[in-house]
Amino acid sequence: MTSAIPMPRSFQTDDARLYPIAEKVLAGGRLSFEDGVTLYQTGDVLAVGWLANYVREKINGNVAYFNVNRHINPTNVCVASCRLCAFGRKKDTEGTYTMALEEAWQTAASGYTEAVTEFHIVGGLHPDLPFEYFLDLVRGLKERFPQVHIKAFTMVEVAFLAKRAKLTIPETLQRMKAAGVDSMPGGGAEIFADRVRHIICDHKIDGGEWLETAKMAHQAGLRSNATMLYGHIETNEDRVDHLLRLRAVQDETGGFQTFIPLAFHPDHTALEHIPRTTGMLDVRQIAVGRLLLDNFAHIKAYWQMMTPQIAQIALRFGADDVDGTVIEEKIYHDAGATTPQGMRRADLIRLITEAGREPFERDTLYRAVTRTDDTFTIAV
Ligand code: V47
């Protein structure tokens, strides 16, 4: 190997294709589409992980973030019938539910006693619920829990609600913001490539519309996350395309906070024949995300989706965040997840500490949270 930049002794690989990629990474350079495909193809997952860990420690040091949050899914009624999903159900079919507003507010207050700093709100695309229902839901939460950050509604829900309310997307976002939405989650991105999207989620907005909606959210002053659903029918090229399209939007807006790869859970979906992802793919996906998304500050190993055990290992493969206590996850559990539906703060701290990282309780905007017994303060 000839290299202008001395390779740290601990970087070793038996795959020569990784040396030029390592040179770029160590020099702080940007990886190309072809580099991304190589990172998926190589058998040397540990070398990919080593590089991702190098970047992760350069950006985040030894810290690993978590938060105390609660999920609220106001309805599972959905017009979309996505093949990837086991959560959504057609109106008037068995197992549907829609929360009355009072019920949603009570749900927000229930669960563990540790004061939550974030409500994460997503749900189905209900054909009849008016936009006002969602605005009232958020207003009611803000009235009752003024200190809690509201991270609500995916780009897909925003586009759907805008159409139903006959508003433009910027108008819809402005109304959400005025009602109390503080930022947006990253769901619904799936895989941007049309060929894949037509099969796994045909009735959703397309990849370009998801990205355009994200740009408008960022322009409206709402930060958001970004996800990618992997482990179904996508190719390595589709994965790299997805990541590079996110990177391009981030270059423009800087509005994404965190990238969250989501492993496909096939149970009870129309794609039930697809096997579950393996641990190696899960950690490789975290690592490739960290390496290609050089303009994202955070990579999340969502423990509910990848199990606490793999999330812990992911903290050494490029991830710096494990999400939070969650309390009552539904979307993954309807699709066969066997993880607990929530975790206590002390368990998250143990998980992080035993990975050799320093636990850092954050709010949704990554500010430090300090706690007394039943309340918290945020460093601003
Ligand atoms: O949008 C649905 C995915 C997402 C399945 O922003 C499935 O902080 C796997 O977006 N197998 C919802 N995935 C979850 C999500 C999320 C989770 C945690 C944190 C954040 C954040 C966002 O779950 C959906 C879809 O992409 N999904 N069904 C399934 N069967």
Q: Has residue 2 got a pLDDT over 60?
A: no
Q: Which tokens in the block code for residue 173?
A: 């976002």
Asked if residue 207 is part of any domain, the answer here is: yes
Helix 207-219 × helix 155-165 angle, to 10°: 80
What is the separation, in whole angstroms, between the first and last Cα of the chain? 48
Cβ of 264 closer than 6 Å to ligand 1, yes or no, is yes
Q: CB of 259 closer than 6 A to ligand 1? A: no
Indicate if ligand 1 lies below 6 Å from the C-beta of 150: no
Neighbours of 128 (CB within 10 A): 11
Q: Are residues 54 and 69 in the same domain?
A: no
Q: Is the model more confident about 64 or about 380? A: 64
Domain containing residue 40 = 18-59
Task: Pick the range with the lowest mean pLDDT from 127-131, 181-185, 280-284, 343-347.
Answer: 343-347
Number of domains in the chain: 2
The Cα 333–Cα 87 span in angstroms is: 9
CATH number, domain containing residue 296? 3.20.20.70
Closest CA to 112 of 347, 288, 310: 347
- Asked whether residue 13 is assigned to any structural domain, the reply reads no
pTM of the model: 0.95
> Looking at the predicted structure, is the pLDDT value of residue 9 above 80?
no
Using most ligand atoms within 8 A of CB, pick from 230, 262, 321, 341 the residue to mutate for ligand 1: 262
Instruction: List strands edge to edge, sheet with 69-72.
Output: 69-72, 118-121, 149-152, 183-184, 223-230, 256-263, 298-299
Asked if 87 and 51 sit in the same domain, the reply is no
Tokens 């790869």 -> residue:
261
CA of 280 to the centre of ligand 1 (A): 20
Q: What's the CA gap between 357 and 359, in Å, rounded?
A: 6
How far, in Å, from the CA of 341 to the mean position of ligand 1?
Answer: 14
Asked if 52 and 84 sit in the same domain, the reply is no
User: Within a domain: residue 5?
Assistant: no
Going by alpha carbons, the residue nearest to atom 2 of ligand 1 is 85
pLDDT at 205 over 70: yes
Phi and psi at residue 226, to the nearest 5°: -140, 135
89-128 per-position pLDDT tens digit: 999 999 999 999 999 999 998 876 678 999 999 999 999 9
* 298 against 109, higher pLDDT: 298
Task: Please indicate, yes or no, whether residues 80 and 166 belong to a single structural domain of this protein.
Answer: yes
Q: Which residue has the higher pLDDT, 59 or 7?
A: 59
- State if residue 196 touches ligand 1 by the CB under 6 angstroms criterion: no
Nearest CA owner, ligand 1 atom 16: 187
- With a 6 Å cutoff on the Cβ, whether 265 touches ligand 1 is yes
Pairing of strands 358-361, 63-67: parallel
Q: Indicate whether 4 pLDDT > 70.
A: no
Closest atom, ligand 1, to C-alpha of 336:
30
Count of CB atoms situated within 10 Å of the CB of 292:
25
Residue located nearest, by CA, to atom 17 of ligand 1:
187
What average pLDDT does this structure show over 69-85? 95
- To test the ligand 1 pocket, which listed residue (227, 339, 363) has its Cβ within 8 A of the most ligand atoms? 227
For residues 44 and 175, membership in a common domain is answered with no
Residue 8 has pLDDT above 70, yes or no: no
| Same domain (yes/no): 54, 143 | no
Residue 182 sits in the same domain as residue 44:
no
Task: Write down the pLDDT at residue 201.
Answer: 96
How far does residue 53's CA lie from ligand 1's centre (Å)?
24
Q: Is 270 within a domain?
A: yes
- Structural domain contains residue 2: no
pLDDT at residue 330 tops 90: no
Same-domain pairing of 33 and 150: no
Last residue of a domain, one of 7, 42, 59: 59
pLDDT at position 167, please? 98
- CA 18 to ligand 1 center in whole angstroms: 31
**Model confidence at 1: pLDDT above 50:** no
Q: How far apart are CA 266 and CA 277, in angstroms?
A: 10
Determine the pLDDT at residue 326: 86
Ligand 1 pocket member 188 (CB < 6 A): yes
pLDDT value of residue 379: 80
Closest protein CA for atom 14 of ligand 1? 187
CA–centroid distance, 7 to ligand 1, in Å, is 38
Q: Is pLDDT at 373 greater than 60 in this prediction?
A: yes
* Protein residue closest via CA to atom 13 of ligand 1: 264
- Hey, what amino acid is at 50? W
User: Are both 33 and 151 inside the same structural domain?
Assistant: no
Specify the pairing of strand 369-371 against strand 376-378. antiparallel
Q: Is residue 250 part of a domain?
A: yes
Residues 346 and 299 in one domain: yes
For residue 322 and ligand 1, the question of a CB distance below 6 A is answered with no
Q: Is the pLDDT of residue 221 over 50?
A: yes
> What percentage of the chain has pLDDT greater than the value 90?
86
Look at residue 327 in the predicted model and tell me its pLDDT: 83
Find out whether the beta carbon of 285 lies less than 6 Å from any atom of ligand 1: no
Same domain for 106 and 41: no
Same domain (yes/no): 30, 113: no
Average pLDDT over residues 21-43: 97
For residue 264, being part of any structural domain is answered with yes
- Residue 249's alpha-carbon distances to 208, 210, 236, 366, in angstroms, are 11, 11, 20, 21
Residue nearest to atom 10 of ligand 1 (CA): 187
**CB of residue 186 inside a 6 A radius of ligand 1:** yes
Query: Is position 11 within any domain?
Result: no
Residue 7's pLDDT band, with cuts at 50, 70 and 90, is low
Averaged pLDDT, 244-263:
98
262 ligand 1 Cβ < 6 A: yes
